[in-house]
Amino acid sequence: MDKKSIVAGNWKMNKTHKEASEFIKNLAPLIQSARASAYIAPSFTALHDSITAAKDTNIIIGAQNMHDETDGAFTGEISGGMLKTLGIEFVILGHSERRHVFQEDNSFINRKVIRALKDGLQPILCIGETQKEREEKKTEVVLEEQFFKGIQNISKKDASNIILAYEPVWAIGTGKTATSEIAEHTHSFIRKLIIKHFDKEISKNMHILYGGSVKPQNVEELMQQENIDGVLVGGASLEYKSFAEIVNKA
């Protein structure tokens, strides 16, 4: 059976708790009969109200980040346990803004992925090359490194709970989408990496989302590609009508 596709919205540092809950109430009736699963990652301050607003809907609420430790002297950080207790189901890890703006490295991201799995959260592990790396033909080397280091010390059993997201940095928030050919070619390369590290079965079942300027206008073509199992959406997830359109088309 085909996997159910996933459309995940990453709101980044946008929306107050009131705006978040309003958005979810407006969105829910529009995607009631969607085939795809709708995931939304609001800011920490909006998580509680978002969970309340999403109750009895098919919307799944997640966080945009977490720390790898359970507790302690980490001013400003949030643990996986805190998120889980709140009712959070997934967490985005290794987003390019965390890697490049906040200098998170592969080893830190790997520790977060391990902790998220221990805490019962589903990690969405993001990987992706910069424009410079693509121009220098280093895309595959970079993706292989980010993937292998990101999933180190993770068992096959736990791997089945991970979602991967391929997000070329040059396509995030730039309006430049990878063509469906480029995206499919890269997703098929990532699918092979999963086989190399885990096995065929896990590779077949693992969702690989594409992210980078996804809009209602380009989602269908992307979703037609064999190895694209869903999308991770930034900008176009901030407006409920455009997000609903993406969810319904995916």
Q: At what angle do helices 180-197 and 139-150 cross, to 10 degrees?
A: 40
Whether residue 190 contacts residue 210, with contact meaning beta carbons closer than 8 Å, is answered with no
Decide: is 28 part of the binding site for ligand PEP (CB under 6 A).
Answer: no
| Among 5, 6, 10, 31, interactor with ligand PEP by CB under 6 A | 10
Closer of 170 and 198 to ligand PEP (Cβ): 170
- Catalytic member of 17, 67, 95, 207: 95
What is the footprint of ligand PEP within residues 197-236 (CB under 6 A)? 211-214, 232-236
Closer of 81 and 216 to ligand PEP (Cβ): 216
What is the footprint of ligand PEP within residues 140-169 (CB under 6 A)? 167
Active site residue 144: no
Least Å from the CB of residue 172 to ligand PEP: 4
For the record, the structure tokens of 114 come out as 């391990």
Which value, in Å, is the radius of gyration of the alpha carbons in the chain? 17
- Catalytic member of 129, 133, 167, 245: 167
Least Å from the CB of residue 233 to ligand PEP: 5
State the burial class of residue 121 (Cβ atoms within 10 Å of its Cβ: 0-12, 13-18, 19+): buried
Least Å from the CB of residue 13 to ligand PEP: 11
80 Cβ neighbours under 8 A, 6+ residues apart: 66, 67, 70, 91, 115, 116, 118, 119, 121
For the record, the structure tokens of 247 come out as 């969810």
Least Å from the CB of residue 245 to ligand PEP: 14
200 Cβ neighbours under 8 A, 6+ residues apart: none
Least Å from the CB of residue 97 to ligand PEP: 7
Whether residue 64 contacts residue 43, with contact meaning beta carbons closer than 8 Å, is answered with yes
Site map for ligand PEP, 165-204, x if CB under 6 A? Answer: --x----xx-------------------------------
> Could you tell me how many residues of this chain bind ligand PEP (CB under 6 A)?
13
* Phi–psi pair at 92, nearest 5 degrees: -80, 130
Active site residue 48: no
Other C-beta atoms closer than 10 Å to the C-beta of 92 total 26
Which residues of the shown chain bind ligand PEP in the complex (CB under 6 A)?
10, 167, 172-173, 211-214, 232-236
The residues assigned a catalytic role are 95, 167
